[in-house]
A and B are shown apart, each in its own frame.
Chain A
């Protein structure tokens, strides 16, 4: 599903060169649920942005579902992102002027889906996150947990095969965080591949596979299989 080979990302200013990712290698298989942990500034978000094609990388190769991302232009990347990737952000990133229905509609419009089909999908997704009755509410009228569920519904509406979540529970209390996590697990069971960046080690342990990023490189790799824990240095 996702394959990064020796991907490097350097942020360059006049004075400083910062290696956010260096020779980063990771293979994610279809249907996996991966938690990405690491200290602040380690490169987790950069990895997620590159995975979501929101930022270019300097070196290496990135294949998403077999497509070489490095060879795509902006329009092609936007299309690929729209069709294959769903985003969930820590700050929810709902558009404040749009009601829930319209927020969820945004990615569907960019994909050119017809109004009837959009309506079907939006209602289904709102149902799935338990907010069907709030379709006409604007984000400000909802709690943080509800807003994150809307963001998840928005990510799901495009029926993506790949979900990228950046600290999805970072702004939520523990009860809401647990509800959101359960929702993500359900989505994963339904077939979506999920990569979740988190600081919360307890939350990370609920993901079947953990990776740790330190100084822009994959430092540790843990696979939880029931009661068994397997540690490896490889990202594969």
Chain B
């Protein structure tokens, strides 16, 4: 019977092409706008590393003395001091952990064929690659020894490798960063990351870095942060060594804690660490405080999806509601005009339920066609959004979930809009129309 209802729906579509087209257009515009904002929202709020997002924790320590305040909702600094990061890195605990900082270099080769360019770099520790699930095209991460000795090594992205080495295996090659040469030890595969969750300073949707280098080079080369450096008290830091020992926070720190037990041990360690630091005159507080937030909590805490985005999605759904109100009106007119035919069908043995279903199939079909057209409009909308800002390029796309959701939302909302007209037409008294037709 369902196929028969589809056939009847298609005939009805063809019988009133203008009204049907207007309804499809209304659905398509509503869905197009809704899916545009919803897709961006979905990409912004999607778990960037679902396979282990609940095992990766951003570490925050409350370094401020009592009475000082920070702008975060829980008064906690977002980053760590260099000395805390270094101490936590050297902790005799079993978990994987990374300290990191964003910086940058002028990148060039010993060749006149490649123009120098500015490359973003992430100074980090070797666990970074396995913790955040990066895979290597060539080579691998630098060794612990290279990390400890601040070896001049670098891991580059596939994109940079394509640019500098035409995609060839560049492991062992030298590249120049500012005034020093660095040996390539690895090339990572394309890393399509929509949300740069591991470092939410300077924008959550910026591109990932092109160069990855040992954290120990910060000290050795006196590298400055290209991210945020914040302080909570006046400190005189004329030399780089002073900055490293200061209370300024500028290092991101993550730990991979795979079990609750591991998390508990690490929490105890953090408390013990702060107590030990108190003895050295730091953490002048009555209550010691730390925070471990997993990836999704970290994104929420940092308001990756802003209130504006949520309002935009809400508004687009309201617009879809307006479109549906129009469709409801058109459906009412269309279905009630068909009441005489419904009367005949009822007289010939159709139950109210069958009439109701027939009309719901028709609105579902309108929803499906509208949803498909809506996807096309949404693609145009996303293209527009993508061109507005560079960082929207990755976000302004529809993934499979959104592609499947579009017709589903269209069909569901159309069925909702069609419930009343379908109910009204199925409960009309057939006797009235049989005589008058």
Residues on A close to B: CB < 8 A? 45, 49, 52, 54-55, 74-75, 78-79, 81-83, 87, 89-91, 93-95, 97, 106-107, 109-112, 154, 158, 166
Contact = CB atoms under 8 A, between A and B. Distances in A.
Given A54-B430, A55-B429, A95-B341, A158 B351 contact: no
Given A54-B430, A54-B431, A97-B11, A78 B351 contact: yes
Interface in B342-381: 343-354
19 contacts: A49-B434, A52-B347, A54-B429, A74-B351, A79-B349, A81-B349, A87-B434, A93-B340, A93-B343, A93-B437, A95-B345, A97-B15, A107-B348, A109-B1, A110-B348, A110-B349, A154-B348, A158-B349, A166-B434
B113 interface: no
A81 B347 contact: yes
B163 interface: no
Nearest to A93: B344
Contacts of B1: 109, 112
A78 B346 contact: yes
Given A107-B349, A154-B348, A55 B437 contact: no
A90 B437 CA distance: 9
A45 B434 CA distance: 10
Contacts of B346: 54, 78
Contact of A93 (B349, B351, B354, B434): B434
Contact of A82 (B340, B349, B434): B349
A190 B36 CA distance: 66
Contact of A110 (B15, B354, B434, B435): B354
B431 A78 contact: no
Nearest to A86: B348
A214 B253 CA distance: 95
Given A54-B430, A54-B434, A91-B437, A106 B11 contact: no
A52 B430 CA distance: 11
B343 to A, nearest CB: 8
B4 interface: yes
A158 to B, nearest CB: 7
A110 B350 contact: yes
B83 to A, nearest CB: 79
Nearest to B340: A93
Interface residues of B, number: 25
B350 A49 contact: no
A154 B352 CA distance: 20
Contacts of A79: 349, 351
Contacts of A75: 351-353
Nearest to A46: B431
B431 to A, nearest CB: 4
Given A54-B346, A55-B431, A109 B437 contact: no
B interface, by DSSP: helix, strand, loop or mixed?
A: helix
A110 B344 CA distance: 12
A196 B343 CA distance: 20
Nearest to B14: A97
B431 A166 contact: no
Nearest to A98: B11
A106 B430 contact: no
B348 A87 contact: yes
Contacts of A110: 345, 348-351, 354
Contacts of B436: 91
A95 B347 contact: no
6 residue pairs, one from A and one from B, having the closest CB atoms: A82-B349, A78-B351, A110-B349, A107-B348, A49-B431, A54-B431
Contact of A106 (B340, B345, B434): B345
Nearest to B4: A109
B335 to A, nearest CB: 15
A109 B435 CA distance: 24
A91 B436 CA distance: 8
A157 to B, nearest CB: 10
B382 to A, nearest CB: 39
Contacts of A112: 1
Contacts of B350: 78, 82, 110
- Name the residue among A78, A79, A91, A111 with the largest chain B CB count within 10 angstroms: A78
A79 B352 CA distance: 11
Nearest to A111: B349
- Name the residue among B351, B354, B437 with the largest chain A CB count within 10 angstroms: B351
Nearest to B349: A82
Contacts of A106: 344-345, 348
Nearest to A90: B435
Nearest to A77: B351
Given A93-B344, A109-B1, A78 B430 contact: no
Contacts of B343: 93
Given A74-B352, A75-B353, A87 B347 contact: yes
Nearest to A89: B434
A151 to B, nearest CB: 10
A95 B344 contact: yes
Contacts of B348: 82, 87, 106-107, 110, 154
Interface in B295-352: 340-341, 343-352
B347 A54 contact: yes
Nearest to A49: B431
A106 B353 CA distance: 16
Contacts of A74: 351-353
A174 B346 CA distance: 30
B433 to A, nearest CB: 9
A90 B344 CA distance: 12
A97 B352 CA distance: 21
Contacts of A78: 346, 349-352, 354
Nearest to A91: B437
Contacts of B340: 93
B3 to A, nearest CB: 11
Contacts of A166: 434-435
A148 to B, nearest CB: 14
Given A54-B347, A74-B353, A106-B348, 18 more contacts: A49-B434, A54-B346, A55-B431, A74-B351, A75-B351, A75-B352, A78-B354, A81-B349, A82-B350, A87-B434, A89-B437, A93-B437, A95-B345, A97-B15, A106-B344, A110-B345, A110-B350, A110-B351
